[in-house]
Amino acid sequence: MTAITPAEHSDSSHHQAKHRKARALKPGSHRPAKELCSECGLCDTYYVHYVKEACAFLNQQIPALEAQTHGRSRDLSNQDDWYFGVQQQMMAARKLQPIEGAQWTGIVSTIAIEMLTRGWVEGVVCVQNTKEDRFQPMPIIARTPEEILAARVNKPTLSPNLSVLEQIEQSGLKKLLVIGVGCQIQALRAVEKELGLEKLYVLGTPCVDNVTRAGLQKFLDTTSRSPDTVVYYEFMQDFRVHFKHEDGSTETVPFFGLKTNQLKDVFAPSCMSCFDYVNSLADLVVGYMGAPFGWQWIVVRNQRGQEMLDLVMDQIETQPVMSQGDRKNAVQQSIPAYDKGVTLPMWAAKLMGIVIEKIGPKGLEYARFSIDSHFTRNYLYVKRHHPEKLEAHVPEYAKRIVGQYKLPD
């Protein structure tokens, strides 16, 4: 981890007063969100003082923070806003020269390196892994391109990215890029004004269904042919889970062949209660689910995001987003199947996967399929496990998405 040397400066009396009460709380000594805590790292810092306002699971405030961040919140008369959030443009892209070892083609790492080497930022909050475990996240403030590259590849476990916030203030950094997922970024936006930064850029990735480290092991053990050699995996647009192994081989398992009956409880309660799949509050989002297979999906949310993307436009090829097929029947059928933990025989799962890949939703329609499937599932989870939270916790755009389907009680 990068050593942070405190700059030769002292907190202003304002900052000292502001954090005196906060420092009286032992960081990480409690988790106000209890079982819904996503372990974003905020409670591991003296910014825990702000957690009841900032936590995505205690105070859902996406519309207000969208207006603060992007200059407007979602237009609820526009279905694209329901699904994809505030956006200036969307596109599919891939690097002309992919980064070796990157999970996709390396667009996220490339943007971060360009911003650092050009002096746009002085540090990049990203996630490496520990030496002992490739899946154990280790958030750092990267100061060199090498440290950024060491963070490539998603870590599909809960990660305390915001645990480095204290280092930011102590180090005197004034220009920062933060790479993170929705729950982390909502908390970050809520305390953004307390960080003393001159410039903050946020590069987000879509996120769904994270697990604890133990949960990840159960998923690998029940799904992969060789769990100990998996380097990374992803649920892809061809309705298969793709596992990349140490020897460079790729293993695929149909979504419909997952042992749902064994895996229903493996995902973190925070992920089962999340309605920010697309990272609404990032300046720029880079994922894959709205793009054709083999391409990455880019959503520019505001002018800062456009400036970030412009840095690498000469290193990528792009194509317009497309949308094909109809997701509605597939989503409606998946609701009771997941609810009852239905697991198909592998031959049937493979056959269904082939059929759906040929005639099923693609591009933005696949993204809508994925969002619909997760939002209906998560709505039911909150309704059953935290009914007192349902009205305030589920954003209006998510209620409209869920309202398109018939749900079980």
Confidence at 350, pLDDT banded by 50, 70, 90: confident
Residue 4 has pLDDT above 90, yes or no: no
Mean pLDDT of 301-313: 98
Per residue in 329-344, pLDDT tens? 889 988 887 777 667 7
Q: By C-alpha distance, which of 215, 373, 221, 359 is closest to 289?
A: 373
For the four alpha carbons of 74, 202, 34 and 276, in that order, the dihedral sign comes to positive
Domain with 148, as residue range(s), is 13-210+271-323
Whether the Cβ atoms of residue 283 and residue 86 lie closer than 8 Å to each other: no
Whether the Cβ atoms of residue 74 and residue 63 lie closer than 8 Å to each other: yes
Six token digits for residue 268: 């973190």
> Residues of the chain with pLDDT > 90: what percent?
70
330 residue type, one letter: A
C-alpha angle 214-215-219 in degrees, rounded to nearest 5:
120
> What pLDDT is stored for residue 11 in this prediction?
43
Strand, coil or helix: 317: strand
Calpha distance 43→47 (Å, rounded): 7
User: 321 phi and psi, to 5 degrees?
Assistant: -70, 150
Residue 21 has pLDDT above 80, yes or no: no
Whether the Cβ atoms of residue 39 and residue 158 lie closer than 8 Å to each other: yes
DSSP characters over 110-149? HHHHHHHHTTS-SEEEEEEE-SS-TTSEEEEEE-SHHHHH
Residue 246 lies in a domain: no
Per residue in 140-151, pLDDT tens? 999 999 999 999
How many folded domains does the chain comprise?
1
The Cα-based distances of 332 to 66, 73, 91, 130 in angstroms read: 30, 29, 28, 41
Residue 296 lies in a domain: yes
Residue 357 lies in a domain: no
Residue 374 has pLDDT above 50, yes or no: yes
Per residue in 45-103, pLDDT tens? 989 999 999 999 999 999 999 999 999 999 999 999 999 999 999 999 999 999 988 88
Residue 26 has pLDDT above 60, yes or no: no
Please state whether beta strands 284-287 and 199-204 pair in parallel, antiparallel, or not at all (unpaired): parallel
Q: Which residue has the tokens 């992919």?
A: 98
Higher-scoring residue by pLDDT: 8, 326:
326
> What pLDDT is stored for residue 391 in this prediction?
97
Per residue in 207-259, pLDDT tens? 988 888 888 999 999 999 999 999 999 888 888 899 999 999 999 998 878 88
Please state whether beta strands 230-235 and 240-245 pair in parallel, antiparallel, or not at all (unpaired): antiparallel
Confidence at 162, pLDDT banded by 50, 70, 90: very high
For the four alpha carbons of 117, 122, 126 and 129, in that order, the dihedral sign comes to positive
Strand, coil or helix: 90: strand
Mean pLDDT of 287-306: 95
Mean pLDDT of 266-285: 95
Residue 323 has pLDDT above 70, yes or no: yes
Higher-scoring residue by pLDDT: 269, 210:
269
Confidence at 29, pLDDT banded by 50, 70, 90: low
Confidence at 18, pLDDT banded by 50, 70, 90: very low
Whether the Cβ atoms of residue 258 and residue 343 lie closer than 8 Å to each other: yes
Residue 2 has pLDDT above 70, yes or no: no
Whether the Cβ atoms of residue 183 and residue 129 lie closer than 8 Å to each other: no
**26-40, 287-301, 362-376: which range is least confident on average?**
26-40
Calpha distance 170→2 (Å, rounded): 14
> What pLDDT is stored for residue 355 in this prediction?
76
The overall average pLDDT reported for the chain is: 89
Residue 343 lies in a domain: no
98 residue type, one letter: P
202: left (phi over 0), alpha (psi -120 to 50) or beta: beta
Mean pLDDT of 111-119: 98
Q: How many CB atoms lie within 10 A of CB 357?
A: 15
